[in-house]
Chain A
Amino acid sequence: MRDVAVISFAQETAVKDRERNEVEFISPVVRDAVAGSGIARHDIGFTISGSCDYLSGGPFTFVQGLDAAGAWPPVKESHVEMDAAWALYEAWVAIQTGDVDSALIYGFGKSSLTDIHEVITLQTDPYTVAPLWPSMVDLAALQASALFAEGDVTERDLAEVAARSRRDACANPFAVVSEEVDADTLLGRPVTHAPLRDSDIAPVTDGAAAIVIAAAEVAHDVCARPAWIRGIDHRVDAPHIGVRDLTTSASTRRAGEEAGALQGGFDVAELHAQFSHDELLLRAALGLSAETAINPSGGALGANPLMASGLIRIGEVFRRINAGEIGRGLAHATQGPCLQQNLVCILEGE
């Protein structure tokens, strides 16, 4: 395998942005990520994005994205209808083939254009589940209930995760929800989707993110502190939640094993936990120890621009390695009902 590193990252988020369309969200993050990479746009070998047509309500959302990414002269380019963390995986594969040495990855979505929690239901089995229309939050509440029923997780545990995330988000300019708050205060607020409170649910967020990755021979030249991808893997679970053990995440565990996560030693883990209980479940699945700081950015509970949010987890770990704050971190991305599909990426400094 070729050594590949993340060498730059940019993001943008907003709550219900009514001023900018997707292209206007993507343009600045692509501009900043490319500028930060030290590689000229036309020298970046591969371009790939992650987006979802159902967020904008029409086909080919990614086609407009190309206008922002810059595709003239024509570029080697692809797109996944997945969170852009998986676009980064495909870019990493492209570099492994030897065909290209660097790649621009971006993800974007305006979740606020629709009732996103209801629309995401269309991910479920169209014959047996979608007609019942359980929202994304309903399904997550079911998973939280399963954890509660097992007895190891309590409402207070969820409130502690939510309060810590909200406090950490105060230092993140891209968080759309943040407050200096403790668990007791959150526990005093109403349960809105039993057993979840609003503070346990990631905010609806518009946004975009871009990352540039490069093979060692390029990365060394342009980046003082690259974040090396030491392992990356992704796995999927069965779609029907009735056949899954909702108290764990087999696919996260497996992706973690394949990526090398079980060796531990992480200063930071950025987990794509869209609900408070997701964090507890993912920590256990990945065997993360108490020494690992979880979601110091505030995580998805601070800002969750779907289709970019998983990529932002990778970007946040890169940012800290690049700044010299940490040596080794883990990033996680998820999509699908109740954490169906999961990606784990391990990043290290020199």
Chain B
Amino acid sequence: MGAVRTAVVGVGQTRHVSARHDVSIAGLVREAALEALEDAGMDFGDIDAVVVGKAPDTFEGVLMPELYLADALGAVGKPLLRVHTAGSVGGSTAIVAAKLVMAGIHKRVLTVSFEKQSESNATWGLSVSMPFTAPLVAGAGGYFAPLIRAYIARSGAPRHIGHLVAVKDRRAALRNPKAHLHLPDIDLKTVEESFLLWDPLRYLDTCPSSDGAMALVIGAEDVADAAPGPAAWVHGTAMRSEPTMFAGRDQVNPQAGRDCAADVYAQAGITNPREDFDCAEVYVPFSWYEPMWLENLGFCAEGDGWKLTEAGVTAPDGDIPWNPSGGVLSSNPIGASGMIRFGEAAQQVRERAGDYQVPLKTGLALGHAYGGGSQFFSMWVVGNRKPE
């Protein structure tokens, strides 16, 4: 870790919905930014730099939209950075912002991520036929479904495991007023009977398309000490990437994910993630990714992830709750989804998670995001106590 202790001192997010016809893109990001600033007891004038993240510009049809958003985010006259690392971008954007503070360059950084998916169609946006490149035309679900089938074949997991996650995360979302999907009647049967999209993924096994934004105010130690609310101290950050296609890759259990976890755990002193964390907010856009990432992140041995899910270990009242906020399966403004994971982890250790607050024992939580063809990973560990 850098020389400067760093913490999240403000968190803000919009209510996530299918289409925010009532606000412009600028209006959307401002809602999250203003809420985070209010939480931190600051206004735009207090901020030294702004870091914006989002997924491909084709999702809204605005090229480098941070340029147009400079005024709306109070960035005029300041440094403004725009991060884009595919689905992991929300997480990596928070890490870039945190590094500006860790490095001692800035004291107070506002970081904002968003997607206004109603402006276009994400599956189309992901499926443009590129010169010299084999067309995929599958969107994200079509890409990941074969990897999920490979996981099922490898682990021998029963076919209903994914549906269990779909139900668990949507039920958790009922306690989160900002979640996009509120499906009070969801149960195993409704998931099993929803239509098949990409075998084995049914409609309710997949994330929604959301309009939404997430914002964090990240401050240096002295800023966090003086902040009106509790701080979520950054105990570790890590990013890893690997290429999309080559014969040596294990796309089901990617090396980059394992390396990233090992790095962030070493920084934060995590030796047994299942015991050392109070909860984890993990990027699970398709239900089966919960058991797959349980293994990739070392919460259990390879092949055992589905057993934890089946036993309810990851439920809000389980011994290691995963996605008590409802997760990506309940809200998915793509470019923001990673930062929502990072921010929800922060809210848990700040004891600001409202009706979905988990009990704190170790005071540590994991935020995780991934993207591309399971090849880009970003993670952080936050805690309610200052790092050593």
Contact = CB atoms under 8 A, between A and B. Distances in A.
Interface of A: 1, 21, 47, 52-54, 56-60, 62-64, 66-67, 71-82, 86, 89-90, 93-94, 96-99, 113, 119-120, 122-127, 130, 233-240, 250-251, 254, 335-337, 340-341
A90 B24 CA distance: 29
Given A76-B238, A236-B79, 13 more contacts: A21-B131, A59-B125, A63-B372, A71-B241, A73-B259, A74-B240, A74-B241, A78-B83, A93-B99, A125-B68, A126-B65, A235-B78, A250-B77
A341 B58 contact: no
Interface in B234-271: 238-246, 248-249, 254-256, 259-260
A89 B103 CA distance: 12
B61 interface: yes
B15 to A, nearest CB: 22
Interface of B: 1-3, 24-25, 55-65, 67-71, 75-86, 92, 96, 99-100, 102-105, 125-126, 128-133, 238-246, 248-249, 254-256, 259-260, 372-373, 375-376
Given A78-B85, A79-B85, A71 B242 contact: yes
Contacts of A73: 242, 255, 259
A96 B64 contact: no
Contacts of A75: 240-242
Contact of A341 (B3, B62, B67, B241): B67
Given A74-B241, A77-B241, A93-B99, A238 B76 contact: yes
Given A64-B133, A72-B242, A82-B64, A233 B79 contact: yes
Contacts of A63: 86, 244, 372-373, 375
Contacts of B254: 74
B82 A80 contact: yes
Given A76-B240, A238-B71, A96 B63 contact: no
Most buried by A among B83, B129, B238, B246: B83
B99 A97 contact: yes
30 contacts: A53-B58, A54-B63, A56-B130, A58-B128, A59-B55, A71-B242, A72-B242, A72-B248, A74-B241, A74-B256, A75-B241, A76-B239, A76-B241, A78-B83, A79-B83, A90-B81, A93-B99, A96-B103, A96-B105, A123-B63, A124-B68, A125-B68, A126-B25, A126-B61, A234-B79, A236-B79, A239-B67, A335-B67, A341-B67, A341-B80
Contacts of A76: 238-241
A46 to B, nearest CB: 9
B242 A96 contact: no
B242 A93 contact: no
A120 B57 CA distance: 12
A57 B130 CA distance: 8
A172 B25 CA distance: 43
B23 to A, nearest CB: 11
Given A66-B241, A82-B82, A340-B70, A237 B246 contact: no
Nearest to B256: A74
A16 to B, nearest CB: 14
The 9 closest A-B pairs by CB, nearest first: A59-B56, A96-B103, A74-B256, A58-B128, A97-B2, A77-B241, A122-B63, A81-B84, A74-B242
